[in-house]
Amino acid sequence: MKITLIAAVAKNGVIGKENDLPWYLPEDLRHFKALTTGKTVLMGRKTLESILRRNGKPLPNRKSVVVTRDQNFQAPEDVVVFHSLEEALKNLKDEDVFIIGGGEVFRQTITLADALEITRVDREIAGDVFFPKIDEAKWRKIKEVTHQGFSFATYERVKH
């Protein structure tokens, strides 16, 4: 199993506002789609609800997995639901998994991750959900592609 956290992050760490993305970056959405299509994406309930509100359905061509403590949560039929992160990861142990949010799921999985795919948004944005701080002692940037106003950065866990 390889665990990769994937997120777009503003300079001040913001990743969300009022259960939505606080920006519209078509290049980032294409990058996200290219990296995650055909893969397993794991998210919290609020992230799934945001996707459903925006798209009307789960992300196409991906196995969508939701972690929620809500025992009565009703997900669309093609979404796999687990009630703990541990249960989800145990059941996905033979798959490469992209963690796609939200903030709480990122906080719980950053110590388990093998890689980070971060879109760095080159401005501070008002928001209410934040990505955990990337500890430079634990993560090494191995690639960065710069665009106007943002960049795509790939990190790998530092092996000690």
User: Which of helix, strand or coil describes residue 38?
Assistant: coil
Q: How many CB atoms neighbour CB 7 within 10 A?
A: 21
pLDDT tens digits along 79-93:
999 999 999 999 999
> What is residue 87's predicted lDDT score, i.e. its pLDDT?
97
DSSP 8-class letter at 105: H
Q: Which fold has domain 3-157?
A: Dihydrofolate Reductase, subunit A (3.40.430)
pLDDT tens digits along 10-27:
999 999 999 999 999 999
Give the C-alpha separation, 77 to 127, whole Å. Answer: 31
Residue 48 scores a pLDDT above 80: yes
Q: What are the domain boundaries of the chain?
A: 3-157
DSSP notation for 4-18: EEEEEEETT-EEESS
Please give the radius of gyration of the chain, using alpha carbons only, rounded to the nearest integer.
15
Q: How many CB atoms neighbour CB 82 within 10 A?
A: 17
What percent of the chain is predicted at pLDDT more than 90?
98
**Residues contacting 60, CB < 8 A, separation 6+:** none
